[in-house]
Structures are given as C-alpha cells and as structure tokens.
Structure 1
C-alpha cells in the first residue's frame, strides 16, 4: 500500500507537469487522477482479452500500434473529462504523455524506485489470468507432475561480466541483490570461457552442446565460400542448421530471448537465428503489455534519450581526464547504447516476465547492457559498473516475480565470457591488423576483410529486431544488416518462401575467383585464411609462398603467438623466441615456450581451437602483460575472444544446494583452487543436469 501511494503521488505530479506544459487548465484534479486510474484498469483488463487477441494475429508492429493507440485513448479520455475542452488536439495528448513520462522517470529515480517491479508485476498478473499450457503445468517433457506446484528454471546471462568485475561491483555496493544471494541462497563461482571466448561460441555450446562449429565471431567458411558473421540473422540461421539435434537446452517448451541461437526453444524473441523466419519475433501478443502499460513505453523512450546524453557526457569526461587506454566513442554507438541499455533491457524484462507468468519450463535471456558499454569505455570504468548495477536491479525484480508467480522458478545467473582491458593493435602499431597482414604479403589492403572494423556483436539485437519486423525480403531487397557487417560478403541471398532458410553449403566453382587472403579480428584473437586453398595449408606451404608473413607478424609489437599446422598436420604454436607442438606431449620444439606468460590452459585451449573445422589457417593471439592487458585486433578498449586477463573468467551463480558434476570440472589456477567447469559444453551438460533434476524430476538436485 505504501508503494502504491508513493506511485500515485508521483503519477499525479507527472500528469500535473505534463498538463501545465501543454497549457491546459484542469477543472477537477481528482477527476483526472481517478479517470486515469480507472481507464488504466480497464485497459489492463482489455489487454488480457480483446487487445491481446488482436495482437496475436499480427507481429510486434501490430502490438506497437494497438498499445500506443490504447495509451493515447486512455489519456485523451481522462483529459477530456477533467478539462473544459470536449476534444483535444492529438499533438496535445502526445505532449502530455511524453512530459508526464519524463517527470515520472525522474520521480522514480528521486525516491529510489524502478519500473522493473512495475513491468514484472503487470506481466505476472497477465500470466495468472492466462491458461498455462499443459506441458508447463506438469513438468519438463512429461515428467511426473501430480498436484504439486510446477517448477521452472530461469537462466539469466549477463553478457561480458567477468568474475573479478562482479566481485568489484559487489564490494562497491553496486550489486546489492547478488550480494544478498551469495552466501545465503546461491553460490558464486567462476567457469573457464575457452577460446574463442565470444558470445556466439558460448551460446552454441551452452544452448546446443556444440563445440566444433563456431571458431570466432566472424570467419571464412570454405563450405559456403564466404565470410560468416554471427550478427547477421541469415548467417546465424545457417550456423544453427549445422548443430546436431537432440541435446538443445530449451527444447520441450522453453523460451529464448535476445540470444544468438534458439537452443530448441518453442518461443524465441529477439533471437538472431530465428529472425529470418516469418514472424521471427513471435506473436504480437507477447509484446502488447510492454507497449500498452501506461507511460511505460514513453518513459523508456525518454530514458533512452537520457542514456544518449549520459554517454556523450561520459565520453567527454574520459577525454578531459586523459583516461588511457581509450577509443573514440561517437557515431552510431551513442544511439546504440541508449537502445540496448534502456529500451531493449526493458523489453527483455517484459518478455521474460510474460514467459514466467505463463509457466514456461526453461527460460534463457541474455542482457547485453554491460558488454556494450565495456567495449567502448573499459571493463571496470565507472559507466560500465553502473551497467552492472542496473542488471542487478533486474535480477532483484525477477527474483521477486519468481517468488510470487504460479510456477516455482529457480534462478541461475551466468556470463558468456569476461572482458580484458588494453590499447588496440592499431593504437600500438599505427595500422590495423588486416593492413599489417596485407603489407607483409605484399598485397594492397582489401575492402572485404574484417580485421580492422568494429565489433558486430553490439549490433546483433538490432539486426534481429529489424530482420523480424521487415519480414518480406526479395533478391532486390536483401536483409537489413546494421553495423560493421553491413553489406560484407553476403552472397547468395535468394529467398525461399516467406523467409530465408539456410541454403545448402556448396563450394565455389572457381577458387581463383575468391580473395587471396581474408583477415578477421575478434578481441585479441586474430585469424587469417587463404580462401584459394581448398584445405588448410601447412606452415611450410605458407612460408614458401609468403616468406615474410609469419616472421613479420611475430616481429610486430603486440603479437604474442601464431598458431598453424606443421607438415604432419599437428598444431604448432610459434612465438618470437620458440615453438611448441600441441600434440599432448608438452614438448618445446625450439627456444622458449611460446605459451609461457599466458594462462595455464593456453596450450589446451589452442589445441582444441585448431581442431575446429573453420578455424583460421593462421591464428594470432596478442601479447598479455602482467596486469592482464591485451591488444584487440578491432577497435575495442575492452575486448574478448582470445586469451589473457579476465576475458576467460566467466561467472556462474547457482542455488547453493545444486552441486557441480565432478566429471565436468577441472582445476584452473587463475580461478582458484576449487574445480570449475571448463568450456561452454561442460556448462551445457551441467545446466541440463540441473534442468532435468529440478524441472522434470522430483525437485531434488544432487
């Protein structure tokens, strides 16, 4: 009741300011406030029946139109009843709505409140009124249900948050919800993110149990004869089609939100690989609540603009203070930060709350807020830690909903990787990684290479949203892809049916038509391919054709080691002063051990990476200094993808009574003395074990 009264006061003040700015005269304030409250209640009831039924017949655009129209109708009716004007101009109603939303957001900030609780409470009420599917009412995949309360598993991924960063946020009071969990209901530990420590590779492993398909964020694919990028919805669909079926984490009625791949989910929202299909965002009814709840969408838009202004201020503050290392923070990133850290976060929260209210058995969501900022500002810079603070508030709201909804949900929180600080390769050398490779080969830089462009990971949610909204594609109007992967190596765009299905892998007819070399960079992991070779060439073949390439790379500042195949096909790591075969013997071929100074799992991780079919013909890892700083081969001051620093120190927060499977753990010195899970596939098996025991079993997790 106390929170309700505070909310009523704030809403009244917000409406007062909005009315004053619009120049209206209210004759009876109690009529305005009460009519808004009554109309909102009517709208809430209508949302659960009439409007939701209409939205279910369309897409997210349908939900946006219906929800916005309903909000304007509610406010317009309330204003008409409380003023002398029987009819108000449309622009006046919009002005009152926007101003009131801005004041409401500021008022909630002043009293220390958040609309996260409002979002999940409203979604939970809808779920309580909605018939829960029979599969969700019993238990996972037909397990014994009886008359007990159904159980569910919610997995929340905090993209890019490393274990050291989370510890710092907890100690600094910026993660109070997680701090309350640790030591009481949950255990916080690390897990080792193997190379490539990227979101697509982790999601392939965690959601599908696949460790052999994704070698980097973008790579040259000899089967398709082109560059694949996981931020491209069409490429993501092709990649997912290569995963083996039968072990998906979310199969049997699960929900995926803001993920790269579906994980076998029945409902997939803002999922990149699902975006190319008809209504890839799912039914419009799932989005209606977000668009129709009074002042929620307008408030989110206002806060999005505020986030853009905040980014401009924080970027200037770094420049004025001379913070090093840093990169320019401008252009589309400024707007992108506002969208991902406000609008997409709130939309994700609304969708997950809806799924929890409906009793979906397993739910997986990825929040990209922190990762987006840390790439540009640095992993532990103030603005990055504030993003962790916002994510902590979301976790607190989800825990509150888990306690009150009909399904008994347990929460598991993880990250897909961490991030490491460091100046970029280009800052160190005055030229980009791709440019350096071409120079050593005696070739002119090629526009089609992706070694020196920014990350496409930040654009993945926007690409999924656009691809889902713009459903009808033709050969003349190919898929819209924003960010650095826009228009790059996207051959064979022919549509099939109402969406683009994965095309059959087919090698090019003439290898001579392919580029001489393709270079990519993902964090401090660089890869080089020679596409005109049908198979991966050996180090000797590379040296005979381009004798200056490998020696020149090793002599370049910031390059720590190069991985290639020797004449016997055995992976060989070469450093500036030595070489080592990765055949399990730990034998140093000559000189000093090239993996000395890297994490102790470096040799094992590189050997595993070399076995991935589409890994680079040459794999390059930057140097790592004593503070864990690396040099990204793309324009990122906080990066991940390779080895070194906190980028491999991912987090795992799980119920304290849920033990790790000893057969899936190993000791990693960088993460302490206790055994931890190594690699996303091990995490996949652990999550499936917990899922089966909690959701589909008797609720006792060994």
Structure 2
C-alpha cells in the first residue's frame, strides 16, 4: 500500500531533526563560522591600509560570507557542470575566491575598496582557510569523506527522481544490494614492499582486511616488460604482447611510440581492443592508460580528455572548498616537503640517489591532486551504480622513481593511498551497489644507481662507441646491404642505431632496415656491437635472433627455445622466470633488433636503469616483476600462479562473471575470440593467395 502523505512528511521531519543529524550540522556550522572568523581576522590584519574594526563587524562579515556562499555556490557549481572539462578546472580554481570577493565587496563596513584589493584579500582568505582546514583534519580524511557523501547522496536522489521513485529527500538513500566491483591499482607497489608495510603496521586499512580474514594477499609475476602500459594492456584487454616496452620504434611507419603520450595511446588502443575488455559491460575506467572497453572513460590517457559535463564528481571537486583549493594548498606543501627531503638525502650522502628537481617538483603535487580527483570520481560512479570500476593511483610510483622504492618518502605515499582505500570503505554505505574491493599493482620497482652513474656514460654513448668502424681498416658498406633495403620503407629522421630505454630494459633498432635483423646481418653491419655490449659490465643480457632467440652474456650464452647453455648461464642472476619472460617478450610486436637488460647485483638485487631513475621498472632483476593482488578471501584463484598480466585479466573477468557483471561467460568470450582469430587468419590467407595468383598471372603475361 502507498505510504500516506502525512506519514511521509513525519518521516521527513524525524530525519531532519534526528539528534545525530542535528549534532553533525551544528558542529559543521560552528567549525565553518570559526574558521571563517579566524581567516577573515588574519586577512584583514595583513592587508595594508585596512581600517581596524571590532569583533562584531567581523562576525557580521562571517554571516555575510555564509549567505553569499549559500546563494553563489549552487550557481557556480551549475556553471562548472555546464562547462565541463577545462572550463570546470578554470572556474573551479576561482569559485571560492568569487564567493569571498563578493562577500568582502558587500561588507557594510567597507574596510576594503577596489576590486584588485578585494581580489587579493579573497585569494589570501581562501588559501588561509584551506591551510586551517588541513590543520583541523591533519591525519584524517573526515572533511573529504563528508563532501563525497553529500555528492553521492545528491546523485542518488536525482537518479531516484528521474526514475520516478518516491525517495525521501531528507533521508539518506539506502545502500544498494546488487553486487559491484572496485579494482584499485596501486601503481608500482611490489608484493614484498606491501607485505613489509603491512607487517610494520603502516597500512591500517589493508592490514585490517588481511588480519580480519576478509581479504588475502598474493603475488603475481608481471613478466617482461614490467611497465604500466604493457601490464594494463594485459589486465584491461588481455593483449600485453602488443606492447614491447614503455617506448618503442615501429619500423613500418618510422614512428617512435611513447605509451603515456595521449596521441600514441589513442593509436595503440584499437590494436588492443576486441570489444571484450575487462570493463565492457557498463564499466568505468579512471586514470588508466587504456579504457578496457569501458562505457565511461575518465582521465584515461588513450581518450585524452578531461571529464565532461556528465562527470558531476569532477565539477563538485573543482568547485568545493575542500576539493581543488585544498589540493592546491597541499600541493605547495608537497613541493616544500620534496625540497627538504632531497636536501636531507644530499646532506646524508644517501646512495643511490638521483636529482629530484625540475619536472619532478611539479609531478609530486600533480599526482596528489590526481589522487583526490580520482577518488572523487570513484565516489560518483559508486553513487551512480557502475557495475565495475578500474582506477590507477600513481602517487607511490612517481615518488619511488626518484626517492627509491623503500625509502621513507615513498612509504609515506603508500600510507596516503591506504587512507584513500579507507575513504572508499567509508563511502560504501552511500553506494548504489554492494561493492567488493580488489587491490592490485601493475609491477614493482627495483632500486639501484643508474647506468650513467656507475659507468660514466649513457647507454647511447656506449652503443655509439661500439658501432664505430675499425679505424685501421674501415670497410665500405657492402652493395648487398643496400640492395636488401626496401625502397618503399619510410625514410625517418631518427638515427641509424636507435636506443629506446624503459627502466633497465633497452630496445636497439637498426632503423634503415624494415625487417627485424638476425645476428649475422647485425654483425655484418656493426661487427663490434653485440660482443662489445655483451662484455660491458653494465649490460647483463643481449638478446638477439641467432636461428632463434639467444641471450648473450659476458661469459656464456643461453638458447631460449631449448634451454641450451654454453659457458656460464647469463640468466642465473635474473631468477627462475627469466627464460620464460624473455621468450614471451620475443613474441611481442615491434621488438627491437637487439634487446638489452642491465646487469643485476646478485647480493642486493640492484639494477642499473638506463634512465636517470633510482627506482625503475621495465626489465628484469629485483622486485620490478613482482606485483601484488589483494582480493576477497572467499574468491579462488583458478588461473594458476598468475603468470603475466593476461592471466590476471582472465581471473578478473571470471570474478566479474561470478558476480553476474558480464553479459558473456569467459568460455563464450574465448570461443568468440577464437572465431574472430579464425576469420582473421582466413582473410589473411585469402589475401596472400590472391596476391600470389595475381603475381603468377602477371608473370605469365610477361
């Protein structure tokens, strides 16, 4: 039977005047008024030429600020939502300043005159308020949670009204009962680092889940290359072999690809996507390299756009006094903290270390801002009832690259990510679904002094040195070398020998040749190159095609196809997975003519990155290939030891299917994929047959 209108109104009144709600609102009002009073008093005291006034005048100004905010903030938020994207960011930056400036301009006591003065005072007041709020909430995320809850409840009420439901507007919407899955990627966190941090008691949220038995943690092996784009190509699309490194060269087009460049990521995604990605059935991609065939992609590199008008969480974060303004102030604090931490490393002569200035100073606050935005966007999608969400949080990875994967600065970032997981847990009762949480990483990191620091020259300089002809007798290039080059191969401004590095993995391309060359051809072109690189103390492995892939070291070689070893096995320092990792990598698209892995210290597991990073990943050695997975304890691992990101993809798809969140079962997906592959193979065979027939016919005509 329908609820009578009188009873409905009584429920609304009870909800409105319930003691917990009244107390919460009273506390919020008192805190807001106190903060505004302190900030305005301090701001007016700082402003030159401002007439002093009594406390009553300042209290009146506090009331005026509250009134102006009550009128303008909804209008500003509506404007932010309407603009979307960059417009939301730009208006969000000034929204709080506008509220404060209008209030100061309307101040009856007229202590400030002229818009420039008023604007400066308003900006100062907003910054001081953000600092003060941070001091109140130091060590907690209470204010952030309150703002997110308010956003989520508003979204759910609007959805109920649009659906024609009768939802009591003054009461919290009931928690959803349908299942959902949040997949949160902690970028670059290795399983040993996470396990150590949990045992140390530094990660209270994850630690509580594990100790209570609701979740279990296990490691998984990423293989080669151990980079975010390759891992996400596997996890999100099941297609990791399309990506040979963080960067690579494509001989077919003469193009250098950089996977975190939006233009290149947009070109890569169609190669990965077959329409059956991890997020295809209404899922949401947030902050990832690729979309996983998601229905909604927010801050995803391959889509290269800021969230649009439909992403209310983006707009609300930008316009909220506890959103962008807070993140901006804290970002400045992160820069100061970074300068201090870098100075401490120099004073203590901490080794290994790299420079932490330049672009990295901007990366630290940017990654923190991105983290808060991502969590706001996750909260919005939880309120909307997205069936599956996959989000990449990059804070730890960015800091660990320059500070080291186990250094205090990096662990501090990991602790902040654990707090964000606690925020999502606290927001779960407001969600439109009953979400389960899976935490995983895409790779780990390995520490070590860089190749240049150890050997006084870069890998590019070493390659150039070993590619020089013998000065005593410099042979001219043989005629057959030129004859074998494809006249239609696109000319490229790149060097004849191109070195492309990803951590301690390097791909070397002979760019004048359209095909991948074997050892005989490379030795013919550059007789000293392979032997010189293999004998260099900073190079542990040189992989080359020599009637099959062969790993060449300083004192031996390992034929990867059958495991035959001559001399000292060069794979020994790289662990039991090395042979399988290298074999799998040799099947990747656009692999280099030569593949190099830097040497690894057998005692410390330190590697020598070919880039200037003290914490690196991309190749083999150390913890960079040891990723982690934290999942509900009752969910079983059915795909063995999870070798490679494609296996993680299959496992996540199976869990989504068990939750009823896939329109096709994994078996049906595999059958469909097999059918598509058969069609592609048949089409390719038909083209080759038609081409051969055409060439035969042309030959007969001649």
Distance 1:337 1:3, change over 3 A: farther
Partner of 2:154: 126
Equivalent position to 2:291, from 239, 243, 262: 262
| Rounded Cα–Cα distance in structure 1 between residues aligned with 2:258 and 2:488 | 19
Do the aligned partners of 1:10 and 1:107 also contact (CA within 8 Å) in 2?
Answer: no
TM-score normalized by structure 1?
0.80
Partner of 1:290: 317
Would you say 1:431 and 2:457 are equivalent positions? yes
| Rounded Cα–Cα distance in structure 2 between residues aligned with 1:40 and 1:165 | 45
Do the aligned partners of 2:285 and 2:389 also contact (CA within 8 Å) in 1?
Answer: yes
Equivalent position to 1:58, from 83, 97, 108: 83
Distance 1:261 1:697, change over 3 A: closer
Do the aligned partners of 2:81 and 2:309 also contact (CA within 8 Å) in 1?
Answer: no
| Rounded Cα–Cα distance in structure 2 between residues aligned with 1:167 and 1:608 | 28
Q: Which has the higher contact order (CA 8 A, sep 6+)?
A: 1
Give 1:27 deviation, angstroms: 2.1
Distance 1:125 1:35, change over 3 A: farther
| Mean Cα deviation higher: 74-83 or 229-238 | 74-83
Give 1:151 deviation, angstroms: 2.2
Partner of 1:75: 100
Do the aligned partners of 1:27 and 1:82 also contact (CA within 8 Å) in 2?
Answer: no
Output aligned runs, 1:174-573, within 5 Å. Answer: 174-184=202-212, 185-275=214-304, 283=310, 285-341=312-368, 343-442=369-468, 509-511=489-491, 515-566=495-546, 568=547, 570-573=548-551
| Rounded Cα–Cα distance in structure 1 between residues aligned with 2:206 and 2:590 | 39
**3-state DSSP class of the match of 1:262?**
coil
| Rounded Cα–Cα distance in structure 1 between residues aligned with 2:338 and 2:492 | 46
Distance 1:117 1:32, change over 3 A: farther
| Rounded Cα–Cα distance in structure 1 between residues aligned with 2:61 and 2:652 | 51
Partner of 2:170: none
Distance 1:365 1:128, change over 3 A: same
Do the aligned partners of 1:207 and 1:249 also contact (CA within 8 Å) in 2?
Answer: yes
Structure label with greater radius of gyration: 2
Partner of 2:617: 640
Do the aligned partners of 1:271 and 1:281 also contact (CA within 8 Å) in 2?
Answer: no
Q: List alignment gaps of at least 5 residues for structure 1.
A: 138-146, 444-505, 667-676
| Mean Cα deviation higher: 416-425 or 515-524 | 515-524
Q: Deviations over 1:9-66 (max 9, x none)?
A: 554443233212321645266655566566656667x3xxx66654444332322354
Partner of 2:700: none
| Rounded Cα–Cα distance in structure 1 between residues aligned with 2:560 and 2:539 | 19
Give 1:130 deviation, angstroms: 2.9
Partner of 2:585: 609
**3-state DSSP class of the match of 2:367?**
helix
| Mean Cα deviation higher: 287-296 or 680-689 | 287-296
Give 1:633 deviation, angstroms: 0.6
Partner of 2:133: 104
Do the aligned partners of 2:41 and 2:58 also contact (CA within 8 Å) in 1?
Answer: no
| Rounded Cα–Cα distance in structure 2 between residues aligned with 1:213 and 1:219 | 11
Distance 1:643 1:51, change over 3 A: same
**3-state DSSP class of the match of 1:563?**
strand
| Rounded Cα–Cα distance in structure 2 between residues aligned with 1:148 and 1:549 | 63
Do the aligned partners of 2:57 and 2:109 also contact (CA within 8 Å) in 1?
Answer: no
Give 1:87 deviation, angstroms: 7.6
Do the aligned partners of 1:290 and 1:347 also contact (CA within 8 Å) in 2?
Answer: yes
Distance 1:148 1:13, change over 3 A: closer
Do the aligned partners of 2:181 and 2:387 also contact (CA within 8 Å) in 1?
Answer: yes
Do the aligned partners of 2:307 and 2:314 also contact (CA within 8 Å) in 1?
Answer: no
Distance 1:647 1:409, change over 3 A: same
Partner of 1:484: none
Do the aligned partners of 1:14 and 1:101 also contact (CA within 8 Å) in 2?
Answer: no
TM-score normalized by structure 2?
0.80
Do the aligned partners of 1:578 and 1:591 also contact (CA within 8 Å) in 2?
Answer: yes
Would you say 1:85 and 2:114 are equivalent positions? no
Give 1:86 deviation, angstroms: 8.9
Distance 1:250 1:43, change over 3 A: farther
| Mean Cα deviation higher: 167-176 or 641-650 | 167-176
Distance 1:281 1:237, change over 3 A: farther
| Rounded Cα–Cα distance in structure 1 between residues aligned with 2:275 and 2:539 | 41
| Rounded Cα–Cα distance in structure 2 between residues aligned with 1:655 and 1:321 | 43
Partner of 1:592: 568
| Rounded Cα–Cα distance in structure 1 between residues aligned with 2:333 and 2:245 | 34
Do the aligned partners of 2:144 and 2:322 also contact (CA within 8 Å) in 1?
Answer: no
**3-state DSSP class of the match of 1:326?**
coil
Equivalent position to 1:690, from 648, 655, 671: 655
**3-state DSSP class of the match of 1:23?**
helix
Q: List alignment gaps of at least 5 residues for structure 2.
A: 1-19, 46-52, 166-174, 470-485, 667-702
| Mean Cα deviation higher: 284-293 or 431-440 | 284-293
**3-state DSSP class of the match of 2:340?**
helix
Do the aligned partners of 1:374 and 1:384 also contact (CA within 8 Å) in 2?
Answer: yes
How well do the aligned residues superpose, as a CA RMSD in angstroms? 2.9
| Rounded Cα–Cα distance in structure 1 between residues aligned with 2:492 and 2:191 | 47
Do the aligned partners of 1:528 and 1:619 also contact (CA within 8 Å) in 2?
Answer: yes
Distance 1:31 1:128, change over 3 A: farther
Partner of 1:655: 632
Do the aligned partners of 1:119 and 1:350 also contact (CA within 8 Å) in 2?
Answer: no
| Rounded Cα–Cα distance in structure 1 between residues aligned with 2:491 and 2:107 | 74
Do the aligned partners of 1:250 and 1:362 also contact (CA within 8 Å) in 2?
Answer: yes
Distance 1:627 1:132, change over 3 A: farther
Give 1:252 deviation, angstroms: 2.5
Distance 1:608 1:90, change over 3 A: same
Output aligned runs, 1:3-82, within 5 Å. Answer: 10-23=31-44, 25=53, 26-27=55-56, 46=74, 54-68=79-93, 70-76=95-101
**3-state DSSP class of the match of 1:165?**
helix
| Mean Cα deviation higher: 403-412 or 227-236 | 403-412
Give 1:101 deviation, angstroms: 1.2
Give 1:360 deviation, angstroms: 1.1
Distance 1:180 1:246, change over 3 A: same
Distance 1:520 1:172, change over 3 A: same
Distance 1:34 1:360, change over 3 A: farther
Give 1:433 deviation, angstroms: 0.9
